């Protein structure tokens, strides 16, 4: 796609890893700081899902997510 548009890829990196949250406040903070992660995130709009995640954290001590990130120049 990029080469067809006459662009050259100089550098490309990819990362797959885990992100661990120990409390729901950390998840809320993360989602407010990274607005592209969940479009139009708000506590009010996502309260039920946050409640479910909080229950998981209370039961298991944490909640893990798989990250898949990439960038190109």
pLDDT in tens, 21-51: 999 999 999 999 999 989 999 999 999 999 9
pLDDT score, position 1:
72
| Distance separating alpha carbons of residues 41 and 34, to the nearest angstrom | 10
What residues contact residue 62 under an 8 Å CB cut-off, 6+ apart? 20, 21, 22
Mean per-residue pLDDT over the chain, rounded: 93
| Distance separating alpha carbons of residues 63 and 19, to the nearest angstrom | 8
pTM of the model: 0.76
């Amino acid at each position: 796609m990029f080469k067809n548009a006459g662009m050259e890829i100089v550098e490309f990196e990819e990362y797959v890893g885990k992100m661990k949250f120990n409390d729901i406040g950390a998840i809320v903070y993360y989602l407010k700081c990274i607005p592209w992660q969940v479009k139009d995130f708000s506590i009010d709009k996502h309260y039920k899902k946050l409640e479910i995640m909080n229950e998981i954290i209370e039961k298991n001590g944490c909640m893990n997510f798989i990250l898949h990130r990439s960038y190109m120049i």
